[in-house]
Each structure stands twice: as C-alpha cells, then as structure tokens.
Structure 1
Amino acid sequence: MSTIDIRVTNLGGESITEGTIGEIYKKEGDRVQKDDVILVIDTDKTTLEITSPAVGYIKKMHVDKGDDVRRDTLLIELCTEIVDQNIKQEEKATNNTTASKKDAPSAQKMMRENEIKPNEVEGTGMGSRITKSDVIDHINRKEIPTTCSMQDNVQSISKDINVTREKRVKMSKIRQVIAARLKESQNTAAILTTFNEIDMKNVMDLRVKYKDPFEKKHGVKLGFMSFFIKAVTLALKEVPEINAEISKDEIIYKNYYDIGVAVGTDKGLVVPVIRSADQMSFAEIENTLIQLSKNAHENKLQVADLIGATFTISNGGIYGSLLSTPIINPPQSGILGMHTIQNRPVAIGNSIEIRPMMYIALSYDHRIVDGKGAVTFLAIVKQYIEDPSRLALGV
C-alpha cells in the first residue's frame, strides 16, 4: 500500500495566502481516478480544484467544508492501492447500486443536510441517478403529520417558516475581499462621479452593416464592449492622470493600458484584465473578452488574469441598469460605467428624433483627477463612440 498526502502546495500565486474549503465531492472510502476532482478551494481571487494525482481511494479527509486553509495544509490522505478487504467486499456488494450510478454531488449534499437516505429518493437521471431536483421534489412531497398534537403542529410549522425565510451562509473568500476592497476604496479615495450620454445610432448601424462579414472572417461577433475599450484607451492617452495611481506622496503614471472588465459570476464580481488593449484589434479584443468571460463563469481564471489593471469598465447595462455610480477598484483612479441603451427623444439640429441613448458614468479619485480632466475624458469617449470611424483613424 502506498499513501500520498495531498496538501495545499500552491494557492494560485504569491499574492494568495489562504483559502476556504468549498464543495467536497468525495468522502472517506471513495474510490477515485486520476484527475478526479475531490474538492475545491475558494480564494479571494478564484476557485481552485484539488484533483487526485493517482488512482486509489480516500483514506482520510482532513478538512470539512468551510475550513480555512493555508499553504502546506494537509487536505487528504490518498491510498493508491486498495488493500482493505472490507472495502473490496463493500464495493463488490454495492456494485449494482453506487458503482452503476453516481448521484449528483449537489444532491448528495442536500440529502446529507436533510438526513435523507438515497434509497428514499427516486432518481430520474441517467441510470436512475439522483439529481438535486429529485431531492427537492422528495422534500416537497413530505406531508406534515396529521396525528400530532396542535402544539407539535405549531412547532413544526414555525420551524418550516424559519427555514424558508432565512438562510445563513458563510461569505466566500471572493465576496469577503470584494466587500473589504470596496469599503477600502470609499474610505481612501475621494470618489466623485460625472456623467454624460451617448447617441449609439452610428455604432449600432455599423455593427449591423459589418456584423456578418466580421463574424465570418474572425469567428466572433462584434460587440459594443470592443468599441468602448478602444475609445477608453485613446481617451486615457489624452487624460493620463486617469491612467495613474497614488503611491504614498508620488503619482505613478502608466504608459500601458491594461483594461479590467467587470464580469458577474455566481460567486461574485471578478475583473479579468485585457493586457495592452490599445495595441489590439477589434477581433482580438472580442476573442479575449469571450475567453476571459468563459473562464470566469467556469472558475478557471488564473491569478495573473485578475491583477494589474490600470482602469476598469463595468457594464451594468446588461442587467438593465439605466444609471449608476460605480466604485473605483483601488489603486486605480477611475472606472467607467456603461448602462442600458434606451430610445429617447433628443434634439438633432432643429428637430426632435428618437435615438438609442446610453448614459455613461466616470467615477474618479478627486485626489489625483480634477473635474476638468474627468469631464474631458467622458467627452472624448462620447466623440469616439458617436463617430466610430475616428477609432480606426485614431483622431
């Protein structure tokens, strides 16, 4: 028999020092194949999967869900050879049940929490596999006993009400850091927000005109975000203080343009970074956005994907937001908020027309950026978006 200790050897980078045990997909005695996911660790930047390095079984699990871990913490003892005859017999006896069907991890978790035995639930998944929906249906079908006393009924109903009205969940590391950093931003920076609005008609017409040939040539759709990223990088070059940060008694001006794009996920907001965005084509920006967004939703972002942005763009418009005041991501000095496109009557020359309009907002650190610079920045972005041909010419 050979035993392997699985430890937290690397939490994803030097900037990450601790994490929290998230979902656990295996238990003691379970057999695992090489690269099977045993558990995940939530850190302040991403989610890390801990996989089995070899075929074997879980001899001992040293952590539970919610435990805090650091580098070199012992997580699992893995036996790479099954020598325990009892385990062999148990596996053989249950081969026609557990070996032939593997219930969904979310279903197993819910059954443990509600003290439900698997044989009580009818599985509707492939091979009678129990899904989370099966467990929920089983719970919903349970009836309140009719033979109990009135007091028992009241207590039972009261308990059910408490369960359904409140749920206490420990904050994930990502959510804790989001909360801390946003509060730090408010406590440190002198945040002010200025607004403008953009007529999106020309950009929308341009997208319609070149949508099909662009996708055919580059294999990706042409979205609004690439126009805004292009416009922002050009505006930052004209108003360099917004692409700078304060370090003690110095101002550090950045001559590179790494743009963070806020992405909402189930675990919270993450801001992957598009490096050297000013040097990228529209197609390169769109392809990078798609890959970063996909990795964010699949918890596959690396630490390097999330650090070092010089400026951030947040698009609340995808959720229907008409107007907002975004919070700066320190130590940056500015963040652009995009919003939903809404048809509104506007004055065009001497006439009133219905145009697709978008409000944009720039939150900036007034310690380093003056009002004139902030207003100028938004005016430049507005000019580029309303006349997108200027983006190609850089004028």
Structure 2
Amino acid sequence: MPRLSTPIYLDYNAGSPLRSGARDAMIEALNDTGNASSVHSNGRKARGRVEAARDSVARICGTSARSVTFVSGGTEANMTALSRIWQDGGNPVYLDKLFISAIEHPSVMTGGRFAVADKVIVPVDTDGIIQLDALKQAVEGAEPGLVSVMAANNETGVIQPLAEIGAIARDHGHFFHVDAVQAAGRMKIDMEDWQADAITLSAHKVGGPQGIGAVVTRSTSKSPAPLMIGGGQENWRRGGTENVAAITAFGNAAEAALLDLDSPLRLHDMKSRLESGLKSVCKDTVIFGERAERLGNTTCFAVRDIPAETALIALDLERVSVSSGSACSSGKVSVSHVLTAMDVDETMARCAIRISTGWNTRPEEIDAFLELWPAIVDRLNPEARSRAA
C-alpha cells in the first residue's frame, strides 16, 4: 500500500489549522509594542485591534461587541460560565444546582465552580440527544440553577435541541449556558432563539490560534462572576493583560468562519461521500448518531473488532491524522463517556474513530482516505471486509 505523498489532516474538531489571514494578523500584531490598557498611541493601537476582534467575534454570535469577554480558551470559558454566582441587573444571584447532559465536554463534566454534589447529570437517548422530559423533571421545582448543554457534540457532531432546552430553563427560572465551541463556523448561532444567557467559544476550532477563547453573554446586564480577578481588563470580567496578538487572530478567523456559513453544503457533501464510502467498504460500519441532526463536518464510526488505537496507528503510519474522540481527556485512547451515555456497548465503543473536516479540507483528501481504508480493514480484521456490500 503506497504511502501518501502529503499528509492528510482530518481532525478539525481537535484543532483547526491556522488560517493564513489569522496568521498574518497575528504576526502583524506581534510586531507592535503596546499594552491595550495603556493610553499612549501604542496602547491605543493595541486597544483598536482588540475591539475590532471583539466586534468580529460578536458577529459570529449575533450579539453586541460589549457582550464578548476574551479568555485563554474553551476550558477557561466554560469554567467562567459554570459559576455559582451570576450578576443579573447589578444584583448577585446564587445558583443552587448545575444541570448538564451526560455527553458534555470534559471541562463541563467536571462541574466548573459547582461542587460535585450539586451537579445533576441528565441522560441522553441512543442518538445522543438530551432527554427533554428528564431535563424538565430535573429542573421542575428546583431552586434557580444553571443548565449547561453543548450545541453540538465534539465526538459525534450531534446537534442538541437548544431552543427547546432554553425554553425549559427559562420557564423554570434557570440560567442557560451553551458550549458552542464546536458549533462556531459550522452552524448558525442564535442566542435569542436558544434563549442562552451565555455561550462559550474557542478560537482554534475556527482556524484561529490556540490559547484564546471567549465568553459571550446575551445581555450585558446578566453575566457570570469573573474567574480571573485582577485589573479592570475586559470590562472587569477577566483580569490579566489581553493577549492582543491572539485576540487579533481570533477576530480574523471569526470573520472567515462567518463566510464559511454561506456554503454549508461543501462539508455536508464530503460527509455524505465519506459515510457512503465507509459503508461500501464494510456494510456493518456503525455511524454513531446517524439518525440525528449532525454537524456537516463530523463522522464518528466503528467497525467491530478493529480497535481504535490500532486503526489510529495504522492510519498515522500512512500520514493520515484522525482521532478516537475528544482530544481533551488524557491523550490516550479510552472508552468514550459520550458513547457510553448513548448505550453503545464497550467493545464497539473501543472501536470508535472520529473524522472531522474543516475550512481547508478538500474532497480529494476524503477520496484518499477511502482508498487507504479497505487495506487497513483487511489487515486488521479480514472478516469485516467479507461482509462488504
């Protein structure tokens, strides 16, 4: 089996390649000297970059620039949003419980600033969609708390019914946070329709640099208590000198991601091409969440008796980068808590492989993967190929 002449990267949900525009903007900002909090001309120039980026990130969320707070990444953003204390019209509100789905990102599963005993996990169905009746039962009659549900799952791409979840949270007097890290640039973000009080983002999922993210609130009068307390940066919502270069690049990537939304069929077409090809190789291929609405860029699949760890090594030797699920757990291949929550048996869950595409993926790369995959299946489990359609 000939090796590919160029590497193929199909792990955009773990991290997108840096867009050239974002890289150029970042380098330009790095070449300047100035603290965005300084009043001299250098500082004002840095401040201008930050505020321009804030406006760009706000546009991808359909909200005002004043609602955007820059932080160090998605995990810090989620930790900030998962606060027991929120400001509501200038008055502190103390939240009692945290209600999350069973398939959340590890940074949300830990509970943020809520005690473990105050975390309520709501089950999902076999398609990976939160059980709305179970959520309603959990929040009914409860003291004001925080409902936190991701927009789209990082492993399966399954999209949650956010408008319905937001209505349940509102009707029962709870705040609502949406982890939109995987959603940005891949589906429309509508905080008003979702009735989300806050969403969280990470730049490196949309083609920006690692190490920068944002908390975005629907209203400037309703926000979580700061996690990082220091100076008055970010309107007193996140202390610490702003990372001007990374923020600038984030803004550039956000603008490009907005344009991506104008051509959503490109990724959907590649996903259909991939999934059809996988099933032609082995008709017993299982695609997790297949019956649910999913992001156009994500396919999580398995062939029984082909362990993910072995398949990942085989593909890596052929210069193809894919993953077995979340890249934020331990760096090891383990049973996915997402698939476990979807009632996938452990043997099959250990075979799960995730392919995720993005702004720079070409159809030829999907074709190249599909050319390699049959030989890998033959080598790892010859009987699987004998069941091909």
Instruction: State TM-score, norm by structure 2.
Output: 0.24
Larger radius of gyration: 1
Between 1 and 2, higher relative CO (CA 8 Å, sep ≥ 6) is seen in 2
TM, length-normalised to structure 1:
0.24
Which has the larger share of strand? 1
